[in-house]
Amino acid sequence: MNMEHNGKGALDGIRVIDASRVLGGPYAGQILADHGADVIKVEPPQGDETRGWGPPFDGDAASYFLGLNRNKRGIGLDIGQAAGRELFLHLIDSADVLIENFKIGTLERWGITRALLQDRNPRLIHARVSGFGADGPMGGLPGYDAAIQAVCGIMSVNGEAGGAALRVGLPVVDMATGLNAVIGILMALNERHASGKGQFVETTLYDCGFSLLHPHLPNFYLNGRTPERAGNAHPNISPYDTYATGTEPLFLAVGNNRQFATLCRALGCERLAGDPDFATNADRVQNRAALKVALERRLADHECAAIAGTLIRAGVPCGAVRDVAEVACDPHTLHREMVVDAHGHRGTGSPIKLDRTPVSYRRAPPAFAEHTTEIMDELGLAADAFEDVLPRGIRVPGASPGKDRK
């Protein structure tokens, strides 16, 4: 499905320098780009390492990279050299937002301090994504999603009851950090309308990972008990778990007494709704094991997809447990425009829907340093001064044929 729109996005006119790598920062940059921002991705001479995080690959770029970098223009730059830092600062001078996830202290070691950035561009929103922040007992230490899941306690509540701690099977911390970075950037852009000034926005994997521990942290604050792994069961709600049917597993997410009564009627076991052991959610949580046995006895007579359809249309939140291939081709997925084809690239659509300024998919993810010449032209910079810090194989504007990078 082609989802290209010709209208301007909500962030049209905002320029973002995305000097981040891997996931959290690039994800934030892509969200801003999807909604109209001009995002320039600055990669080191060796490229973002996720270009090699495959297979699968499309050309020389892995799917991992492609999923996080559409709608961006790409430039390659060696910021480790003085001329590279000068060019980087020229980029920042033209920007509204800088997103970076350099190791803490790297920019400062290069002389690119927050004071310098503020002096050069007082309206700049400087968004930093890091593992643990710059200070505190773990300040400056590196962090990757899975390690943060471990150290933040997410793994401790994920997995089967009595089993080992288990990583959530997607980079939930990185993605939450990227989302929080976007929220912070948009807050700062909004505040800038009043003050005329930019500010520093910080999101860390540690903070964001910790913030995801709901309802486990509120439970712990109140009862002082360390949460334990419970498989697919919810610690505060029942029936809220995976249940066996006559075919595939079914997930029931019953949040109130009305939904429970509807479930019992649909399964022909109305007496359960009147059983004192299951009268309230607190009762059902206390007696969840017996309730699961009773419900699975009834569900054994049903095919999963059919009973899921019956229940959800009756008002009972539920769903068959499906795999990625099934979901990607589901008619509702396609109707919601969550799979998009544009510019020879298939990607996951934006979940953020705006009616007057809709999302647009204007560019495929950039080849390495693909737009270097275009961006240099826009900045009006002489190429000869920066030729040594641009990637080899890039034709720089103003260079003689003998000086083209080969």
The number of residues making up the chain comes to 406
pTM, two decimal places: 0.91
Do 186 and 275 lie in one domain? The reply is no
Identify whether 270 is part of a domain: yes
Do 72 and 207 lie in one domain? The reply is yes
Identify whether 42 is part of a domain: yes
Identify whether 341 is part of a domain: no
| DSSP E strand boundaries for 343-385 | 345-348
Do 374 and 309 lie in one domain? The reply is no
pLDDT of residue 6: 53
The alpha carbon torsion through 84, 89, 90, 95 (nearest 10 deg) reads 130
C-alpha 282 chain-centroid distance? 34
Do 188 and 291 lie in one domain? The reply is no
CA distances to 357, 362, 366, 405 from 76, rounded to whole Å, are 31, 21, 11, 13
pLDDT of residue 395: 44
Q: Quick one: which of 68, 78, 86 has its CA closest to 129?
A: 68
User: Of 283, 313, 328, which closes a domain?
Assistant: 328
Do 188 and 53 lie in one domain? The reply is yes
Identify whether 4 is part of a domain: no
Do 66 and 171 lie in one domain? The reply is yes
Tokens found for residue 315 = 């008002």
Do 27 and 141 lie in one domain? The reply is yes
What CATH number is attached to the domain comprising 304? 3.30.1540.10
Those residues with Cβ within 8 angstroms of residue 42's Cβ, 6 or more apart along the chain or in another chain: 17, 18, 19, 75, 76, 77, 79, 88, 91
With beta carbons less than 8 A apart as the criterion, state whether 24 and 209 touch. no
pLDDT of residue 396: 39
Q: Determine the structural domain holding residue 253 and report its residue range.
A: 240-328
Do 261 and 188 lie in one domain? The reply is no
Identify whether 217 is part of a domain: no
- What is the C-alpha to C-alpha distance for residues 209 and 397, in angstroms, rounded to an integer? 45
User: Of 271, 296, 328, which closes a domain?
Assistant: 328
Alpha helices in 224-355, H assignment, sequence order: 257-266, 270-274, 281-286, 288-299, 304-314, 324-328, 331-335
Identify whether 218 is part of a domain: no
User: Of 328, 362, 395, which closes a domain?
Assistant: 328
Q: Quick one: which of 84, 91, 120, 81 has its CA closest to 18?
A: 91
Do 22 and 168 lie in one domain? The reply is yes
Taking only the tens of pLDDT, the chain with its 406 residues reads: 344 555 689 999 999 999 999 999 999 999 999 999 999 999 999 999 999 999 999 988 999 999 999 999 999 999 999 999 999 999 999 999 999 999 999 999 999 999 999 999 999 999 999 999 999 999 999 999 999 999 999 999 999 999 999 999 999 999 999 999 999 999 999 999 999 999 999 999 999 999 999 999 999 999 999 999 999 999 999 999 999 999 999 999 999 999 999 999 999 999 999 999 999 999 999 999 999 999 999 999 999 999 999 999 999 999 999 999 999 999 999 999 999 999 999 999 999 999 999 999 999 999 999 999 899 999 999 767 798 898 865 543 333 333 333 2
pLDDT of residue 2: 40
Do 178 and 293 lie in one domain? The reply is no
Identify whether 222 is part of a domain: no
119 part of the active site:
no
- What is the C-alpha to C-alpha distance for residues 98 and 86, in angstroms, rounded to an integer? 15
pLDDT of residue 387: 86
Identify whether 186 is part of a domain: yes
SS3 at position 337:
coil
pLDDT of residue 391: 82
Question: What's the total number of domains in the chain?
Answer: 2
What CATH number is attached to the domain comprising 116? 3.40.50.10540
**What b/e string do you get for 119-141 counting C-beta neighbours within 10 Å, with b at 16 or more?**
eebeebbbbbbbbbbeeeeeeeb
With beta carbons less than 8 A apart as the criterion, state whether 65 and 21 touch. no
3-state secondary structure 15-32: EEEEECCCCHHHHHHHHH
**Of 174, 277, 388, 404, which residue is the catalytic one?**
174
Do 181 and 92 lie in one domain? The reply is yes
Residue with tokens 């390492």, as numbered in its chain: 49
Do 388 and 314 lie in one domain? The reply is no
